[in-house]
Amino acid sequence: MADTITQSIISEETKARLFPRYAVILHNDDVHDVLYVMRSLQKAIPGLQNAEEIVIETDREGRAIVIICVKEIAELYEDRIKTFGLIVSIEPAT
C-alpha cells in the first residue's frame, strides 16, 4: 500500500515537471464590447462556460485568467484568441 502511495506522489511530481501548467490571460482593451469578447472566447476555447465572468473580471481588474492548461494548449488558445483581435498572453501558472 505504501509503495502505491509513493508511486502516486512521484507520478504527480513527474507530471508537474514534465507538463508545467500555464495560464492564458485576457487583457482589457477599450476597443471591443463585452458581447464580442464573450463570443470570441467561446469560439476560441470549445466548452468554455464562464466567458461572462472572465470578461467582467477583465473589465474590473484589467486582466483575467481564461484557462489553465499545459503549455502547448495554452499557446494554441493564445493564438486562437488573438485572431479575434483581443489582447492575450500566457504565463506559468502559480
- Torsion, Cα 36 33 70 16, to 10 degrees, reads -140
Nearest to 86 by CA among 51, 22, 45, 41: 41
Could you confirm whether domain 19-92 is CATH 3.90.1720.10?
Answer: no
Q: Full-prediction pTM beyond 0.85?
A: no
| Average pLDDT over every residue of 69-92 | 97
Please list, residue by residue across 65-90, b when 16 or more beta carbons sit within 10 angstroms of its beta carbon and e when fewer do: ebbebeeebbeebbebbeeeebebeb
Q: Residues 49-58: what's their mean pLDDT?
A: 97
Q: What is the mean pLDDT of residues 41-59?
A: 96
